Structure 1
C-alpha cells in the first residue's frame, strides 16, 4: 500500500523526513508547496502571533543586535562598514553634499551612507540561499539561476521582510542553566550542546517549546568575548590562532540536533555565537554540517552574533523566559542575509 504524502496537516517527524523518496532525505521540500520560499517561517501563523502578543506583560523592550560595525573580522573579506555623514547646502559647494563642511559653515541638512556594509558582518540572519547543499542545491529545489539580486529573484531575505518574523520567542539560557545544575560549561570552548542539555535547560526554566516558537540560544560566548581584551578578541575573530580562533559553543554537530529542532517544529533559531552550531566540529575530518541541513534542506533561518545578555538577566530576574519576538529583515531583493533588526518585548 502506498504511503500517504507528507502534509502540514500533521507535521512529519524528522525520521519521516529521512525516509522520504519523493525529495532529498531529511528535507521539508514541498511540504508548504512547490513554490514555497519561507521554509519553517510558515509556522508563524496569525493565530500563533496573536497569542504571543497577548503574552506581553510589562512592555519592556530588549534590542538583540550589535552595532553594524561590530564585532568585525570574523571572515577576512567582511570588512567593517564606513559611515559617511554629508553636509548639504553650503554655498561654496553649490548645494552639493560634502564631508568637509564644518558645523558652522551654513549647511542646510545632513545625509549619510555606508560603504562596505556586509549584511552578515554583524548580528545577522542567514538567509536560505546562504548555504547551498553540495548534492541537492538550494531550498525547495530552487535553481541557481533564480538566485540573484534582480527582479524575480527567489529565496531572498526580501521574502522575510515582506511578512516580518513575529511570534513567541523563548530564551534558552544554556550557560545559566548548566551552571545551576552543576554541569561544566566553558563559553570560550567549542562545547557541543546536546538534546539533553536543551531539554534540561527548558525543564530548569519551566518552559515547553510550542510549534512556531523562535528559539534564542544563549551560551555566554558574546558576553565573554566583550569582557576580554583586544588581543583575545582579535585572535577569536581571526584565523591562524589555533589556541582560541573560531572556538565557540553551539548545538552539537550531530543529526540529533537537526532532529530536536525539527521535531519541536520551531520557526527559527538564533544564538549569541559565531554559527549556532559548535565551532569547530569535534572531529577535524567532519564533513557533516548543520548549516547544510538547516538552511537548504529544512529551510530554517539561523541567527548569529546576537546580543542576549541583557535579555538573559531580565529573564533570570523574574523566571519568565518567553516574550514577543519581532524581527523585520532588510527588504533587499535577493538578499543572502540581513541584520536582524530584532527585539524581544516582555
Structure 2
C-alpha cells in the first residue's frame, strides 16, 4: 500500500468518537463482560502458555539501549538468619527487546493521538491522556493465533514480503477457526527462526522484521479485533518504500484505538496450537498501571 493511499485508509478505520469524547480504551471496549465470559469457555484443559520475553543479554545486537539488570543485594556472603536478594531492572521497552503492550498515547500522527487528542498531552513528566492506566483491569478475552509460516510453507515470513488480508483469510480457513468481535489476534511470523537464519536483524542500522501490510487495517477494523499482537513489530520493517515507517501502528493505535502487543514470544504458543490443531484459547494480558505511562512490559498468558 502506498503512502498516498494511507490517509483515506486511516479515515475509514477511525474510531474517534465511537465510544464518546472521553474514551481512552479504544477497541478494548469491544471486550464486554459477555465477551470475557464466553472466552472463559475456551479453557478446557487448564494448560497455560506464557508468551512474554525480556532480552537481558543484548543478543539482538540493536543500536537501542540494552535492558539493565543490576543485583543490589545477592546471597553470596550471607550468614545465619534472615537475608534477602534484591535487584533493579531498567527497560527501554518500546523497541525490539521486550514483549510490551502499547498504550494509546504511544503514537502520534499529524500532531494528534487517539480520539483526536493533541500530542502535546504527552509531556516530559508523562502522559496526561490515553495512558496505560486505561488498561489497569487487564485484557481477558478469546485469543486467536494465525500461523503465517505454515500457510506459506516456510520457516518464517520474510520481512520484505508483508502479510496481506487474503492471507489472513486463508490462514483462518486452513486452521479451521474464526474471528469474533472482541478477540485478541496474534500473528505468528517465525521471528526467532528468521533471526537465527540471518544471524542478526539489523542491516546497516535498520531493523528487518516481518509483519502486516497496511492493507490489513480495514480487515482488522471490519473483524472487530480488540488487540493485535505479533512476535514481530506488527508492521513489516523496513517498508519497501515511502515515508510512513509504521502505518499499522498509526492506523491501529492512533485511529482505531487498538493497543498493540509487540515482540511476543510466540514460538511456544504456536507449538501448543499445532499440537492441539486448535488455534483459539483464552488469553489474559495484564500491563502495569504506570502513572502517565505510554505502555508496559507484559507476560501474556494463553490458557487452553
Q: Output the TM-score relative to the length of structure 1.
A: 0.77
What do the CA deviations read for 1:244-271 (whole angstroms, capped 9, x no partner)? x52222111x3x2110100001001100
Q: Which has the higher contact order (CA 8 A, sep 6+)?
A: 2
Distance 2:59 2:99 in 1: 10
Identify the residue that residue 60 of structure 1 maps to in structure 2: 47
Distance 1:43 1:149 in 2: 32
Aligned positions of 1:307-326 closer than 5 A: 307-326=265-284
Structure 1 stretch 195-204 or stretch 104-113: which is displaced more? 104-113
Correspondence 1:125 to 2:119: no
Q: Is the 8 A contact 2:53 2:299 kept in 1?
A: no
Distance 1:185 1:102 in 2: 44
Q: Is the 8 A contact 2:102 2:261 kept in 1?
A: yes
| CA distance 1:111–1:146, change in 2 (3 Å) | farther
Aligned positions of 1:168-247 closer than 5 A: 168-179=142-153, 186-225=156-195, 227-228=196-197, 232-233=199-200, 236=201, 238=202, 240=204, 245-247=206-208
Deviation at 1:69, TM superposition (A): 2.2
3-state secondary structure, aligned to 1:296 = helix
Q: 1:259 aligns with which of 202, 213, 218?
A: 218
Distance 2:228 2:246 in 1: 19
Identify the residue that residue 3 of structure 2 maps to in structure 1: none
Q: Is the 8 A contact 2:66 2:92 kept in 1?
A: yes
Distance 2:76 2:246 in 1: 56
Number of equivalences? 296
Distance 2:176 2:223 in 1: 16
Q: Highest Rg: 1 or 2?
A: 1
3-state secondary structure, aligned to 2:187 = strand
Aligned positions of 1:301-340 closer than 5 A: 301-340=259-298
Q: Which runs of 5+ in 1 are unaligned?
A: 1-16, 88-100
Identify the residue that residue 36 of structure 1 maps to in structure 2: 23
Deviation at 1:302, TM superposition (A): 1.1
Q: Which runs of 5+ in 2 are unaligned?
A: 1-6
Identify the residue that residue 115 of structure 2 maps to in structure 1: 140
Q: Is the 8 A contact 1:194 1:257 kept in 2?
A: yes
Q: Output the TM-score relative to the length of structure 2.
A: 0.87
| CA distance 1:172–1:151, change in 2 (3 Å) | closer
Distance 1:250 1:294 in 2: 14
